Chain A
Amino acid sequence: MQADRSLASFAVGAFAPLSVALLTLVSTGCAARVTQFHDFAAAGVSYQKAADTALDDAGTAAIRANNANLVKARPNRAALPSTEREDDVIQHNGLLQKRLAILRDLRRHGRVLQRYFQALAAIAESKAPEAAAAAAGETFTALSSLSTTLKSSQAGAVVPPLTKLVVGSFKVRALEDELKQRADAIAAEIKLQEVLFKVVGDTLKTDLRVQLNTMETGQVIAPFAADAALPASWGTTRETFLKASASGESADAAVRAAAAMQEAFTALVQNRFDRAAFNSLLDDIGEVLTIAEQLAPAPGEE
Chain B
Amino acid sequence: MDMIELYTRILRELNEAVERMTSAEFDRLLRGATVEERQRAARQLLEVERARLVLGNAVLANIAQELKKNEKAFEKGIESLDAALERLDNVAKVLNTVSKVVSLVGRVVSLL
Q: Could you tell me which A residues sit within 8 Å of B by CB distance?
A: 62, 65-66, 68-70, 72-77, 79, 88, 91-92, 95-96, 98-99, 102-103, 105-106, 109, 112-113, 115-116, 119-120, 122-123, 126, 128-129, 131-132, 135-136, 138-139, 142-143, 145-146, 163, 167, 170-171, 174, 178, 181-182, 184-185, 188-189, 192-193, 195-196, 198-200, 202-203, 205-206, 209-210, 213-214, 216-217, 221
Q: Are the C-beta atoms of B92 and A122 separated by less than 8 Å?
A: no
Q: Are the C-beta atoms of B91 and A192 separated by less than 8 Å?
A: no
- Given B43, B59, B81, B85, which contacts A199 in the complex, CB threshold below 8 Å? B59
| Interface class of chain B by DSSP | helix
Q: A68-B22, A132-B95, A139-B99 are in contact. Are A92 and B50 (CB under 8 A)?
A: yes
Chain B residues whose C-beta falls within 8 Å of the C-beta of A132 in the assembled complex? 91-92, 95
Output the least CB separation between B98 and chain A (Å): 5
| Bound CA–CA A70/B95 (angstroms) | 69
| Bound CA–CA A139/B20 (angstroms) | 76
Query: Can you add 5 more A-B contacts, CB < 8 Å, to A62-B53, A221-B24?
Result: A73-B42, A96-B53, A123-B81, A129-B88, A135-B96
Q: A95-B53, A143-B102 are in contact. Are A120 and B74 (CB under 8 A)?
A: no
Most buried by A among B22, B54, B73: B22
| Interface class of chain A by DSSP | helix
Output the least CB separation between A208 and chain B (Å): 10
| Bound CA–CA A249/B15 (angstroms) | 15
Chain A residues whose C-beta falls within 8 Å of the C-beta of B95 in the assembled complex? 131-132, 135-136, 139, 163
| Bound CA–CA A203/B49 (angstroms) | 11
- Given B54, B60, B70, B91, which contacts A102 in the complex, CB threshold below 8 Å? B60
- Given B41, B53, B84, which contacts A123 in the complex, CB threshold below 8 Å? B84
Chain B residues 24 to 50 lying within 8 A of chain A, measured CB to CB, are 24, 27, 38-39, 41-43, 45-46, 49-50
Q: Are the C-beta atoms of A199 and B42 separated by less than 8 Å?
A: no
Q: Are the C-beta atoms of A139 and B46 separated by less than 8 Å?
A: no
| Bound CA–CA A163/B95 (angstroms) | 10
